[in-house]
Every structure is written in structure tokens, then in C-alpha cells.
Amino acid sequence: MSDNVLVYRGESIAAYGFGDPHPFGTDRHDVFHAELDKAGLGDVIEYGHPRPALVDELALFHTADYIDKVSRMSAAGHGWLDEGDTPAVPGIYDAASSVVGAVLCAVDEVMHGHHKRAFIPIAGLHHAARASAAGFCVFNDCGIAVEYLRKQFGIQRIAYVDIDAHHGDGVFYGFEDDPDLLFADLHEDGRFLYPGTGAAEETGTGRARGTKLNIPLAPGADDSDFHQAWKKVEAYLHAVRPQFIIMQCGADSLEGDPITHLSWSEEAHAHAAASLCRLADEYCEGRIIATGGGGYNRRNLARAWTRVVQSFADSQ
Ligand SMILES: [Zn+2]
């Protein structure tokens, strides 16, 4: 077991993006890694290199028809994968598949006991549904990781914790009736922001009714609002006792994001990551991975994601 934090980097995941003037540009990976280099964490980080996901791995969460559609539209290189948020740019299939592959590599490394903590920038594409793209997200790496943990490693009770400004609807509705997918999501109130879902009353359906935690926050909510809400996330996770934690730490919840309206600082991300590491140590044999998620102000995403990696390193 290495005490180093495993951080993924590579051109294949950097390529995930939609070009100017789309807010999800392909520069986000390099902006983050430049900031991480500056932070001088060289002796507590190890770099991991992505691989493409197999079709069978994508099919753990997505429908075969949808995977085919992405493949065909990526080759054609024009049109939209959804209703107008997610363009079918050339090569998007390979980039999206590499993002998934990086997350599955991280899961393997953590489950094999080589590392306790891993961070994958660009991943955390939480809007993609089982049969469709949505909100800049092609393949839902987090949803696939849940299914992969169950199939490959027999891990059932997985906590998905999302602090991106947007509700993680692809994960929530993908497991809405599954009581073993433990779900906690802080986000800007859906009455003011895409995708419009994630009301506090949405706690799961069927056997899962009452098992999931959605906490919508008013536009302008700041660090003190974050801290108040975070106490509820901690209490929830202590109650549900997960075996593995997947964090989605979108940086679009920081003040100054061009497409959202929350006003946190990167201290929120540092606090959430440190708290989740303590919970992972208590219930999950230390096992946690974090995915970068959204974040369209470059300075914010570089700082927030770097603080998450720093918290992971400090928590070893
Ligand atoms: Zn977002």
C-alpha cells in the first residue's frame, strides 16, 4: 500500500471537451495539472495513466443502443448527442471512453490495495443517463464505477457524494430505486439551475424510498451555508455506513463560475474531501476516489481540485 495519492493525467482524458466557445473546453485538464505542479506535492502524488474503457464496461450502466449512437455520431463528428448541450465533436467516443477507463483504473488500484485515495480530473460526468447524453456528459463514469465495483469486487453499499453546483441527476435517477446506492448531493436549487431536479423531497423510490439525500441551496449560498449542509451529509454517511466512497467535486459551486450562482470558496472542497477521508477510514478501509466534475472558471477548478488532492494527501 502506497501512502501517495494517485492522480490521473494523460492526453486521452484531456481531449474530453467541446472546443471554443463551449464552457467545457479541452484546456481544463492542463489548467488543473499546471496548478497541481505549482503546489509542490510531488513527493506525495503518483500519476496514473488512463486506458480506454471496453464496450462491455460502458454497458454496465449504458444501453447498447446509446453506446452505438455515440460511436456513430463521434465518427460522423457533427450534430448533438442531446437536445443542444452536448455536441457530437469528432473523437468524443474515444475521449469519453478514456475518462471512464481512468476511473475504472482508479477503482482497480484502490480495490487492489495499492492506494487508498485517487483523483481523476475531467471525470464525474454525472448528468449522462443510462440511455442518453445530457449536460456536457457523454458516459456516466460514476454510474459505471458503481456497477463495476459490484460486479468485479462484490462491493454493494457505495456512497456517491456530489458537491458540484448541478444536481447529479444521471446518478440519482440511474439508481433511484436502489437502496444500496447511497446518495448525498449538495447543489443549487433546481428552480434556478439546470437540470432542475434534486428537491429535498426526492429521497428515492420503491424499496429505496427515504434512503437518499438531496440538499438544494439558494443562489448565492456561501461557505457558511455549505458547512451547515455538510453536517447533514456527515450524519447521513455515519448512518448508512458505506463500503466505498465516490466523490464528485465539481468546482462550479465556487463564486465566479460563469454558468452557476453559488458562492463557495475552495475551502468547501478541502473540507469536504478531508471529511470524506475520515469517513472512508472509519467505514471503507480508507477507500475513496474523487472525480473532478464541472467547473467553468479555470482558476476556480484548478484551485478547488488541487485542494481536494492536498486534503487526500494530508489525510493519509
Ligand atoms: Zn456542474
Instruction: Give the Å distance between the CA of 43 and the centre of ligand 1.
Output: 31
Average pLDDT value for residue range 130-145: 98
pLDDT at 316: 84
Q: What are the start-end ranges of the E strands in the chain?
A: 5-8, 45-48, 117-120, 158-162, 181-188, 213-217, 244-248, 288-291
* Sole residue written with cell 472512508: 280
127 is catalytic: yes
Contact 190, 196 (CB under 8 A): yes
Amino acid residing at 241: R
Distance 168 CA to ligand 1 centre (A): 8
- Report pLDDT for 27: 97
Distance 195 CA to ligand 1 centre (A): 9
| CA of residue 137 to ligand 1 center, whole Å | 10
Q: What is the pLDDT of residues 221-246, one digit of tens each?
A: 999 999 999 999 999 999 999 999 99
| Among the listed residues 187, 129, 179, the one whose alpha carbon sits nearest the alpha carbon of residue 158 | 179
Which of 115, 127, 187, 269 is flagged as catalytic?
127
pLDDT value, residue 286? 97
The three grid cell numbers given for residue 119, joined into one nine-digit string:
483523483
What is the CA(53)–ligand 1 centre distance, in A?
23
- Give residue-wise pLDDT tens across range 161-195: 999 999 999 999 999 999 999 999 999 999 999 99
Query: Cα(295) to centroid of ligand 1, in Å?
Result: 6
- Does the pTM surpass 0.85? The reply is yes
